[in-house]
Structure formats: C-alpha cells, structure tokens
Amino acid sequence: MDLLLTILIDGAIYASWLFIVALGLTLIFGVLKILNIAHGSFYAIGAYAAASIVGLFTAQQYAPAFSLVALLLAAVAVAVVVGPLLERLLLRRFYGRDEVLLVLVTYALFLILEDVSKLIWGVNPYYVTEPYGLFGDVSLGSLFYVGYDLAIVAVALICGIGVWFGLNRTVLGKIVLAVIHNDEIAASMGINISRVYLGAFTFGVFLAALGGAFTAPMISVQPGISVGVIIVSFAVVIIGGLGSIGGAAIGALIVGLARSTAVHIWPAAELFSIYLVMAAVLIFRPEGLFQRVVARRI
C-alpha cells in the first residue's frame, strides 16, 4: 500500500512541473503552429534567473518568504525580455513557411541559447536552497514529503485552471481561440493576428520559465538541463495531443506515473518507460489522446 501511495505522489509531483512547461509548449503550437525546440532553453533560463534573483534577495537579507516572490519575478523577467525579442526579431520572419524550416530555426535558437546561458552563468552548478524549506515536511500516512514538492502540485493546478479559464471564459481568450481555429478568418474579422502571436509566444515563454524557476530549488541548475526537459515535454504533448490543454494535463500525469512506477520497481527503465508509453499511444492514437479541433476547409 505504501508503495502504491509513493508511486502516485511521486508521479503527481513530477507531472506537476512538467505540465507547466508542456502547457507553454502546447499553447505556442496551438496558436503559432510552431514545434518550439527552444522551449527547454526557456525553462533553463528561468531556472538560472531564479537562482540569480533568489541569491540577490538573500544577499539583501529579505525574509525567506520573499524567495517565492523572487521565483515568480524571475519567470516574468525572462518572459518580458526573451519573448518579445525572439518573436519580433526572429520567428515573425518565418510564419507561414514550411514546418520543417521552423523546427530547424527553433533548433538553431536552442543551440544559441545554450551557449548564451553558459556565457552569462558559466558552467558551474547553481543551488537555490532558500524556498525549499519554507513549507516544512508534510506527513501522508507513513510517508513524509517536503512541503515544497507538494506546493508545486498546487502551482500546476493554478496554472492549468487559469489558462483554461482565460481561454474559455474571457473575451481575450475567445480571440485567441478564434486565431487557433482559423487565423485567416480571424484576421478578416479585424483581429490583430500579429499581436495575438506575440502575446501567446510571450506567455508560452513565461510558463516555461515559471516551470524552471519553481523547479530550481528541487534540482542542481547546470548546463544541459534543457535537453532532458524538452524531450520529456514533447513526449507529454505527443501523448496528450498537440495543441490540447487537457491533453497536456493527462499526458503529464501519464508520463509522471510511468516514470514513478519505473523508478520504484525497475529503475533502469526510467526513461524507457516514458518512450514506451508514448509509442503505445502513437500506435493506437497517432494524433494523441485529445486531438485538437481543426477547422474544416472547403
């Protein structure tokens, strides 16, 4: 019984931060139709920025609770600086071009951002310890967990519900959905497609950076973390269905439980279990579990 509970909780914790990152990835694809290979780099930059800002807050001897504010500020700063810059100066030039070209462009961007991160923060690991002890330990039956790990689950729920509510219950969300459904008709109705693209990409960067910022206290922030994140994030959106928010949530949960089960039962198959689940879904549902609605063209 304890083993089952451990698998479920560990899977939920892993799925939570992964869902935040995958949510940004699937949003960018849904609106801009771009498979963004560089999304993992936004995650890594968010983690590095969080380490730097938390270190600054600590040096100024702010209360430890302000370290959580520092994590959020790091994600916002990355989104505000990186999102508009890349969308305006680079990606906008390739809209409407072949999908393979867009993948190559974002892959090149990924390589560039990896080197830029090394130039700014170096190659030595960073550790963000202050936020991790804020919530103490939590007892779940005979198991004990760090409260911060469980708080990440709450952050993921807030992000998921917030994005869903924003898209389905606000005027701005309806505009974004119109662009997702058919950008040509949306443009003919007077919607500023360029502005929607900019906002969606910037918010997608924010979600990736947010995932990195709030994961930073749980890991060693060092070069290479972006590679593993983007691979697993793609597994999530492929399982759930590209462009589907609900699919991203289910996909993250499936990946989290698969990984957790492998870690506790057969550790050598940790990564293999994720790819096995992805392959099984693609065999029976090539479009993913939740296929995005596509406008019928006459």
56, part of any domain = yes
293, part of any domain = no
The arithmetic mean of pLDDT across residues 40-51, rounded, is 96
Question: Over the stretch 160-193, which tens digit does the pLDDT of each residue have?
Answer: 999 999 999 999 999 999 998 888 889 988 999 9
The pLDDT-based confidence of 291 (bands split at 50, 70, 90) is low
Does pLDDT of 295 surpass 50?
no
Q: Name residues whose C-beta falls within 8 Å of residue 178's C-beta, 6 or more positions apart in sequence.
A: 185, 186, 189, 191
158, part of any domain = yes
Does pLDDT of 135 surpass 70?
yes
pLDDT for res 116:
95
298, part of any domain = no
Q: Compute the radius of gyration of the chain from its Cα atoms.
A: 19
In angstroms, the CA 62 to CA 55 distance is: 10
Q: Name residues whose C-beta falls within 8 Å of residue 42's C-beta, 6 or more positions apart in sequence.
A: 24, 78, 82, 113, 205, 208, 209, 212
- The domain spanning residue 103 has which CATH number? 1.10.3470
186, part of any domain = yes
The pLDDT-based confidence of 292 (bands split at 50, 70, 90) is low
76, part of any domain = yes
pLDDT for res 62:
80
65, part of any domain = yes
Question: Over the stretch 238-272, which tens digit does the pLDDT of each residue have?
Answer: 898 887 888 899 999 999 999 999 999 988 888 78
Q: Domain tally for the chain?
A: 1
pLDDT for res 296:
44
Domain of 280?
Answer: 2-284
The arithmetic mean of pLDDT across residues 58-65, rounded, is 80
In angstroms, the CA 119 to CA 66 distance is: 28
Average pLDDT of every residue of the chain: 90
10, part of any domain = yes
pTM of the model: 0.93
93/143: higher pLDDT: 93
